[in-house]
Amino acid sequence: MKESNQWDAEHYNKNADFVSRLAYAVVDLLAPKNGEKILDLGCGDGTLALEIQKHGAQLIGVDLSADMVEKSRNKGVEAYVMGATELVFQDEFDAVFSNAVLHWVQDARLAIENVKQVLKGNGRFVGEFGGYGNIQALREAMQTVFDRHPEYGRFQNPWFFPTKEEYKECLQQSGFSVKSIEIIKRPTPIGDIQEWLDIFANGIMKNVPTSQKTGFKNEVEKILRPKLFTPKDGWVVDYVRLRFEAQKANHEK
Ligand code: BEZ
């Protein structure tokens, strides 16, 4: 999971708790059972891992961010620093769960192959991440500001937001049978657009000189305000989820 974003766990906790709070439906889809061994791929601060543990599952979390792994461990989750394309486990999990992570992984097929490798036969892969059209207004606003300032370099989109047809094909090519896959529009209230950019777009802004970062964010905010802000609801971002459940074939190695 080669990510191009740096995670500041403290900042994330204060401003991005919605990421886990809005994902309990994905835990329901996973339906963890007592005694199952489950991998949380991209466990973040451990909130959902803990929820899965409460069902009596043996949970292992992995995340690329050492800061996040530390947060998970502090909550009592067994967690390791590891990316989605470098999993070291083999045929040992009943299920792999993943929330709001797979859109950061450019090589989706390699990640799926890694998931297949760590699952037992018949094991399930249940997840949710950004689907086609996700945060489109935000991406377009950043693109516009980059176009206005060639000195910042090109806008490099770090995300993979597939259609359900594209992702279904990726899963099937790795031998998974797809039980369900859907695109869900989920307009998401966030606290503040500039905080969002600091947390989730710091990699995108890395070539913007420090002295001009505030100016960059102000320009993005100005473009987005008429589209995503109302006095009644505050900032509501155009999130789109891709939610799926797939199963590894019994004979697959
Ligand atoms: C998401 O969860 O869809 C997402 C979050 C941050 C950046 C990009 C996508």
Please report the atom of ligand 1 found closest to the CA of residue 159.
8
The answer to whether the CB of 103 is under 6 A from ligand 1 is yes
For the chain, the domain total comes to 1
Task: Identify whether 243 is part of a domain.
Answer: yes
The answer to whether the CB of 161 is under 6 A from ligand 1 is no
Q: What is the pLDDT of residue 251?
A: 74
Q: At what angle do helices 136-148 and 210-228 cross, to 10 degrees?
A: 140
Higher-confidence residue of 252 and 181: namely: 181
Distance, CA 183 to ligand 1 centroid (Å)?
15
Amino acid at 187: P
Task: Identify whether 213 is part of a domain.
Answer: no
Task: Identify whether 97 is part of a domain.
Answer: yes
pLDDT digits (tens, 9 = 90+) for 77-91: 999 999 999 999 999
Distance, CA 157 to ligand 1 centroid (Å)?
12
Q: Ligand 1 atom 7: the closest Cα is on which residue?
A: 200
Which residue range is the domain that position 180 belongs to?
Answer: 9-135+159-189+239-248
**Confidence tier at 125 by pLDDT (50, 70, 90):** very high
Q: Please state the pTM of the whole predicted model.
A: 0.92
pLDDT digits (tens, 9 = 90+) for 9-34: 666 666 666 666 667 899 999 999 99
Q: At what angle do helices 108-118 and 164-173 cross, to 10 degrees?
A: 50
Task: Identify whether 141 is part of a domain.
Answer: no
pLDDT digits (tens, 9 = 90+) for 131-185: 999 999 999 999 999 999 999 999 999 999 999 999 999 999 999 999 999 999 9
Task: Identify whether 35 is part of a domain.
Answer: yes
Quote the CA–CA distance of 231 and 244 in Å, as a whole number: 35
Mean residue pLDDT across the chain: 93
Distance, CA 17 to ligand 1 centroid (Å)?
13
How long, in residues, is the chain?
253
Q: What is the pLDDT of residue 5?
A: 64
Element (H, E) at 128: strand 119-130
The answer to whether the CB of 200 is under 6 A from ligand 1 is yes
Task: Identify whether 222 is part of a domain.
Answer: no
CATH of the domain at 35: 3.40.50.150
Task: Identify whether 80 is part of a domain.
Answer: yes
Quote the CA–CA distance of 138 and 128 in Å, as a whole number: 20
Please report the atom of ligand 1 found closest to the CA of residue 199.
6
Q: Ligand 1 atom 9: the closest Cα is on which residue?
A: 130
pLDDT digits (tens, 9 = 90+) for 39-96: 999 999 999 999 999 999 999 999 999 999 999 999 999 999 999 999 999 999 999 9
Q: What is the pLDDT of residue 23?
A: 75
